[in-house]
Amino acid sequence: MDWRDHGILLSLRRHGESAAIIDVFTESHGRHAGVVRGGAGRRMAPILQPGAQLDLTWRARLEEHLGSYQAEPLRSRAAAALSGRLALAGLNAVTALLSFCLPERAAYPALYARTEQLLDLLEQEHLWPLAYLHWEVALLEEMGFGLDLTVCAVTGTQEGLIFVSPKTGRAVSQAGAGEWADRLLPLPPALLGQGKAGNSEIALALGTTGHFLGHHLAPSLGNRPLPEARGRLLDLISRLP
């Protein structure tokens, strides 16, 4: 059996003398691995770089087999990734989180489209941190741990939403928080899509999304720690002017 699809390369590991096993986030077939013959050779090395957009043909005798890929380049992001520390850290965080979160062979076409759009912004440092924050919110939603930031979970109001419940992911207003305010997570305007956001505010918002990645999503995946690449990106954003 075989299929053809577009995909974003997440990772690669050597297989035998010259082959490589690549893990790819594909548009219609989800996260899907396969062997590329010659994938560890000089000709394929510039093509098989994390973040690369590939035209893929997968073949196997049976669907449950690892199978093999033929990979042709559609768009390289190697130059973009090397354009600055933020771009490289961002690419590493995105590919690591997708490898961490996505089940094998389950399609997420909306997340694929958002990921493609995000990676195309790698060289635009002024746009990247906020775009990445919105991508993490979408990732949580796709994985079944979406935040509900529309109304206060206590009072039902849409005004004055400044906290998030660490248990439910629902917004809480100042009035609704009461004596529990110090136990709630911050809800910066950046998470609500309100106005321009500085990097310090984005870093604060990523601390909130990180709670749900680490304390809700990760336990559902066997309590594995979040990828270190995400922590490095957060640290970098928090130190940006």
On whether both 103 and 145 belong to a single domain, the answer is: yes
In a domain, residue 154? The reply is: no
On whether both 65 and 118 belong to a single domain, the answer is: no
164 in Cβ contact with 187 (< 8 Å):
yes
On whether both 92 and 59 belong to a single domain, the answer is: no
Averaged confidence pLDDT in the chain: 96
Distance between CA atoms of residues 182 and 172, nearest Å: 12
On whether both 206 and 119 belong to a single domain, the answer is: yes
Among the candidates 18, 50, 76, a domain finishes at: 76
In a domain, residue 68? The reply is: yes
pLDDT band at 193 (very low <50, low <70, confident <90, very high): confident
Q: What would the pLDDT profile of 52-99 be if each residue is shown by its tens digit? A: 999 999 999 998 899 999 999 999 999 999 999 999 999 999 999 999
Q: Write down the pLDDT at residue 231.
A: 97
In a domain, residue 90? The reply is: yes
Q: Buried b vs exposed e over 132-164: b needs ≥16 C-beta within 10 Å?
A: bbbbbbbbbebbebebebebbbbeeeeeebbbb
On whether both 140 and 218 belong to a single domain, the answer is: yes
Range of the domain at 54: 2-76
CATH number of the domain encompassing residue 140: 1.20.1440
CA distances from 35 to 13, 60, 64, 173, 225 (A): 10, 10, 14, 51, 27
In a domain, residue 95? The reply is: yes
Q: Over 90: is that where the pLDDT of 184 sits? A: yes
On whether both 145 and 226 belong to a single domain, the answer is: yes
On whether both 109 and 204 belong to a single domain, the answer is: yes
Average pLDDT over residues 144-151: 97
On whether both 11 and 115 belong to a single domain, the answer is: no
In a domain, residue 162? The reply is: no
pLDDT band at 127 (very low <50, low <70, confident <90, very high): very high
In a domain, residue 59? The reply is: yes
Among the candidates 76, 104, 127, a domain finishes at: 76
Q: Over 80: is that where the pLDDT of 13 sits? A: yes
Helix (H, G, I), strand (E, B) or coil at 240: coil
CATH number of the domain encompassing residue 56: 2.40.50.140
Hey, what are 62's tokens?
């049976």
Q: Write down the pLDDT at residue 55.
A: 98
Q: What would the pLDDT profile of 199-239 be if each residue is shown by its tens digit? A: 999 999 999 999 999 999 999 999 899 999 999 999 999 99
Domain count across the chain: 2
On whether both 47 and 88 belong to a single domain, the answer is: no
pLDDT band at 122 (very low <50, low <70, confident <90, very high): very high
On whether both 119 and 234 belong to a single domain, the answer is: yes
In a domain, residue 233? The reply is: yes
On whether both 230 and 124 belong to a single domain, the answer is: yes
Q: Write down the pLDDT at residue 183.
A: 97
In a domain, residue 166? The reply is: no
Among the candidates 57, 76, 95, a domain finishes at: 76
On whether both 58 and 105 belong to a single domain, the answer is: no
